[in-house]
Chain A
């Protein structure tokens, strides 16, 4: 016979008892016996597949069975079994993912550099190329100039800066930049060079604000659209951060 310590929340199912008797050759057998003696406790110990629920922790004579043989741990007469829940929970939002902000900043710097070079060299075609690469990058879910970042990193010039963040708003911001540059390219093609350079300047300015001030206007726009439940915009900003600002942790 073994004594089983019942945690407070399960005591209503064991007639209010703090300790009950049950027997079995293994931990699992003791828990099965317990469930036979007190049938209403079963659904709180086991899930539908007969496995232990994730919050159920079992200790045998004060030792966690995970350090022993798990549910197959052998029980001998007089061994004391403790059921101790671990409590877990959390808010609805899906967990954040690591986003490499060094890669994002490199991308912004390259975009700014190439667009300024396009203006200086009066090369609207370069604007079109940068815009196309940004669109392509957004579709592939990565920064347009990720290859340059990887090169600099492999040369030891840059180190990753992984922040817990949502990648989607950054992808959206780049998509937005790509769209504006494509409109600029269209303006050049239609002979409206001033409009073309104006749109290019908008992208340079927004990439600059992102690079130097850590504010991603496209991301903020994404979060605002998510807030008014626009389909396809589902993420909310990392806790503690203003929409569009770099996460602080």
Chain B
């Protein structure tokens, strides 16, 4: 399980987390699946955090209609939604029990720690088939000049 994240998109994810701070910021990762299970991110799409109350510092919610929209945009470009990224303000980039309870299979969940407003480490996770836990997915940031576009 590997997800390749071009540096330009890694920066977009960091910036989104920083601009949303101290609230959580989230969006979707669009891309392609190659050779079985190698995932390559081609685009990020920031989405509004629609969690209803002030606890957006600890929670995020992506509206189904926003997600449907994103899915349609992905399909127009011949891409697929590989996963979801979100920030953990002042918390480590590992999924919480709350993340586990709400997680969907298949998606790669990229979590970025944003400490005191500055983006830190990002890690990728995927829900295990038995829904009982997350498995870490290898997250490789691809330097810009190596990106084959």
A84 contacts the other chain (CB 8 A): yes
Which A residues between 81 and 109 are near B, CB-CB below 8 angstroms? Answer: 82, 84-96
- Cβ of A201 within 8 Å of any chain B Cβ, yes or no, is no
Bound-complex Cα distance A86 to B48 (A):
12
**Are A7 and B57 within 8 A (Cβ)?**
no
- Given A55-B104, A90-B98, A239-B22: A8 and B64 interface contact (C-beta under 8 Å): no
**Distance in Å: Cβ of A139 to nearest Cβ of chain B:** 28
* Distance, CA A7 to CA B103, complexed state (A): 14
Kindly list chain A residues whose C-beta atoms are within 8 Å of the C-beta of B44.
none
| Contact assessment for B64 and A84 in the assembled complex, using a CB-CB cutoff below 8 Å | yes
Give the complex CA separation of A153 and B86 in angstroms: 41
Please report which residues of chain A, range 190-246, place their CB below 8 angstroms from some CB of chain B when the two chains form the complex: 236-241
Complex: A237 Cα to B57 Cα, angstroms:
11
Chain B 1-43, CB-CB to A under 8 Å as 1, else 0, gives: 0000000000000000000011110100000000000000000
| Residues of B contacting A236 in the complex (Cβ-Cβ under 8 angstroms) | 90-91
* Cβ-neighbour of A92 out of B23, B62, B71, B98 (below 8 A): B98
Is the CB of B81 closer than 8 A to any CB of chain A? Answer: yes
A84 touches B102 (CB 8 A): no
- Per the CB 8 Å criterion, the residue count for chain B at the interface is 44
Contact A8–B80 (Cβ < 8 Å): yes
Whether B57 pairs with A164 at a CB distance below 8 angstroms is: yes
With a CB–CB cut-off of 8 A, which chain A residues contact B97? 92
Residue in A7, A239, A241, A248 with the greatest tally of chain B CB atoms within 10 Å: A239
- Taking the complex as formed, is B59 at the interface, i.e. its CB lies under 8 A from any CB of chain A? yes
C-alpha spacing A249/B89, complex, angstroms: 14
Report B120-148 residues with CB < 8 Å from chain A CB: 131
B97 to chain A, nearest CB (A): 7
Q: Mark B58-82, 1 if CB is under 8 A from A, else 0.
A: 1111111101100100000000110
Write out the residue numbers on chain B whose beta carbons fall within 8 Å of the beta carbon of A44: 104-105, 131
Q: Which residue of B lies closest to A13 (CB)?
A: B105
Which of B22, B60, B81, B95 is within 8 Å of A88, CB to CB? B60
Q: Which residues of chain B are near A87, meaning CB under 8 Å? A: 26, 60-62, 67, 84, 102, 104
How distant is the Cα of A86 from the Cα of B16 in the complex, in angstroms?
20
Complexed CA–CA distance, A90 and B90 (Å) = 12
B90 touching A89, Cβ below 8 Å: no
Q: Is A54 an interface residue (CB 8 A)?
A: yes
Which B residue sits closest to A54, measured CB to CB? B102
- Cross-chain contact B89 with A240 (CB below 8 angstroms): yes
The complex places the Cα of A91 from the Cα of B114 at a distance, in Å, of 11
B105 contacts A55, CB within 8 Å? no
The answer to whether A86 and B61 have CB atoms under 8 Å apart is yes
Q: Which residues of A contact B91 (CB under 8 A)?
A: 91-93, 236, 239
Cβ of A91 and Cβ of B104 under 8 Å apart? no
Q: Roughly how many angstroms separate A9 CA and B62 CA in the complex, as a whole number? A: 15
A237 to B91, CA, bound (A): 11
Q: B89's closest neighbor in chain A, by CB? A: A239
5 nearest A-B pairs in the assembled complex, by CB-CB distance: A240-B22, A239-B22, A90-B59, A91-B91, A239-B89
Q: Contacts A9-B107, A238-B22 known; list 12 others, CB within 8 Å.
A: A7-B67, A55-B102, A82-B68, A84-B65, A85-B104, A87-B62, A88-B62, A88-B102, A90-B24, A92-B98, A237-B90, A240-B90
13 A-B residue pairings within 8 Å (CB atoms): A8-B71, A9-B105, A87-B26, A88-B59, A89-B26, A89-B84, A89-B99, A92-B98, A95-B55, A239-B21, A239-B22, A240-B21, A241-B22
